[in-house]
Amino acid sequence: MLNNRIIKLLIIFLVFNGLNSCRQLVIVSTPNDPITEIKSEVKNIDGADFERLQDSLGLFGIYSVPSYYGGLSPMYKMASVYQQIDYDYEGDCLNFSGGMMPLCVNILIFKGGEYNIIDSKDELRETFAPIESEEEALSYVCAYTNTYPMYEFDLPFRYRRYVWKLYKSHAKKVEGGYEVLTYDYQTFGCGPHNHYSIVSFVDFNGNVSLLKQKKVYADPLEDGLCVD
């Protein structure tokens, strides 16, 4: 009887440690996996000018651009800008933010002594192409798709996982351009609010196409959350 009890405890111990090992395998890339980090610093428009620019340009909001835009080239002073639109809006947006108040998410740049709003994929391409490095490819795809890079995956144990392994963001040069891995999060609507890995292809001329989208994890505590 004692031996059986010891055996059962040993099995439980091995299973528990096995689960922990699987958890680590899920969330950690190996040193040999590709990674592209944005090492160039982004140039933000001075925040002291935000209120003036918001009023003069009729913006809903204006904010500093994320640091991972630092690989864009040429590098202008920039800001992220939100412009309120109607539900039946048929004009251009660089990216669209849904919800009860639809917004265009665009980029404001300071170029040649003037402020210019990049409000379409075509204008983004005309401004920053050609794409000539992995770092530039990653920043460009993030701006083009409104996704973001991820390098750390310290997920709580409660999280629901859909994949065995998560890879750090990277851009890999391939024939004709770059394959780029970024991430996205389902903000609006009702749960589950999944996180996704996004694999895109960007050619040297700045044209971006989606290769693969895969849900990777979600927080069960958000299953009942509805965001309008």
Digit-by-digit pLDDT tens for the chain (228 residues) are 445 555 454 444 444 444 443 444 455 566 788 999 999 999 999 999 999 999 999 999 999 999 999 999 999 999 999 999 987 787 899 999 877 788 999 999 999 999 999 999 999 999 999 999 999 999 999 999 999 999 999 899 999 999 999 999 999 999 999 999 999 999 999 999 999 999 999 999 999 999 999 999 999 999 999 998
**Residue-level pLDDT at 98:** 74
Whole-number pLDDT of residue 40: 96
pLDDT of residue 71: 98
In 3-state terms, what secondary structure has residue 142? helix
Ranges assigned E (strand) in the chain: 61-63, 77-84, 95-97, 103-111, 114-118, 160-161, 170-174, 177-185, 189-190, 194-203, 208-218, 226-227
pTM: 0.86
* Alpha carbon distance 138, 144 (integer Å): 10
- Interacting residues of 167 by C-beta distance below 8 A, sequence separation 6+: 29, 33, 34, 181, 197
Q: Read off the tokens for 63.
A: 């904010």
pLDDT number for residue 87 = 79
**pLDDT, position 86:** 86
